[in-house]
Structure 1
Amino acid sequence: MDVAKITPAIGAVLTGVDLSAPLTQAMADALYAQLMDHQVIFLRGTDLSPAAHLKLAESFGQLDEPHPLYPHVEGYERIVKLENDSGAPPDTNTWHTDLTFKRVQPFASILVARVVPEVGGDTMWSSCYAAYDRLPEGMKQDLEGLEAIHDMGDFRNSFPSKEQLDSALPRFGHMIRPLIGRHPVTGRKFLNFNEAFVTHILDLPTNAANSLKTWLTNHMNKPEDQMRWRWQAGDIAMWDNRCTMHYAVADYLPAYRCMNRVTVIRDARAPED
């Protein structure tokens, strides 16, 4: 396996990996080690079948249940089929860490590009490790011990009626998480904030909480922490959702884009919560 870093902060391209062959434990462990080191890893030009996609995801841990709203690949209900064009515009063009409002935050996602537009449709990732490391020492101390409320946030826009939104709010609820997280495997600290789902910071008045949210949003929106991936059909991306944010750039409409995603909710190699 050859490893080429994409930026100093985040991302690596792996070559010399043959995923058409049966996945061995040694290969799964090697991929996992690269994921822990680089936060998001890529393989170019694979011909990964849906069955092999699931097998790869299962080597990382427990898979998510079938998605209640999104369509799935025929015959594979745990593989979400993400299709977008002018008739179905995307809704992930904002910086976010997936589903931080759920009690069990997903560990990782494995995304396979099936059809990509000729131009556009890139995805960006950002390192929450790097965002923490750049904090002034005084701000690190100030944020230690503070907790943020994560709820549905931007997902409120996905419900077509007020009635559906009203019924969804108690069903999804919220989660309280520390602003400074510590990765369960690497032990590294990261800035555990994303503007899409954090609605309030506990123990602060609303005005002060909003001001801090704006400061953190601006702090985390720095190119030094980010990378951008230009997709080709057959590419695979795997990212650690605990310590990264991502942004699917919606600049390709009316062209068609189709991606297959499997979400791993529990890390088989991490200590039990």
Structure 2
Amino acid sequence: MSSMPMLVRNVRFGTALGTPYRFEDHIQRQIPDGYTGLTMQKMVENLANKYGVTREDADEFALQSHLKWKEAEESKAFQQEVVSLEVTLKKKQILVDKDQIAQPLKSEDLSRLPTLIDNGTILTTGNTSAPVDGAAALLLADEEAVRGHSLQPLARVAGWTCVGVNPEDAGLGGVLAIKKLLDSQKLTVGDVDIFEINENFASQAVIATRELKIDQSKVNVSGGALALGDPMSATGARMATHLVHELRRRNLKRGIAASSCGGGQGVAILLEKM
């Protein structure tokens, strides 16, 4: 995210001498959606109120994400999926061998944070994922390539779905994608061992677990974007990669990764341990 450009307005045809340029971080800024006229934060707040999610619910989910990440990090759960590399920063060689996140939050820290939007009661910086730098890589191959190159797959893609919902209900995209995926595979929520549900906003993840009636202990077992941050275009690959390794580490059979995306999209993928 640190390589994303800044935004400068009203300079397309030049400016008057001495006029200061005002730079905006358009990732952080609340920009209205072109279809609904609402910011993403406002749509999330509205959806949370619609489904009865409170500030306390969202803060508790965020806290658990941090605690799960801390426990997983201390038990070296990420060791098999993180590749170390050396980078040069200010002419110094630095070894990057683990995710670097802020100090895990405490319950009292979360409760003191101000809300993000005017007249809002739920969204804060504590129960909303932060934009961060990140990268993930995974290799997909069909059965012919696997046999031809004598590969040893870590997991099998058993199915996937993409859905669309009302843009104002964008946070429900992942829910409907999971339901459609389970129906197509003739499975129930109970047939799936663990879930990775994107934590763009804690309230959306709370809604997903409630609507799908998923046991909280099976959701984001090592924390999620609320603890790690949300790197643009890398979160989905990170969730899928982590899900594969968690299935193997815990000796489980099935896992689903799902995300609600801007504009009313929802995607889900079913993975099975080989």
Higher relative contact order (CA 8 A, sep 6+): 1
Compare the two structures and name the one with the higher strand fraction: 1
TM bucket (normalised to shorter chain) is under 0.3
The answer to which structure has the higher helix fraction is: 2
What TM-score do the two structures reach when normalised by structure 1?
Answer: 0.26
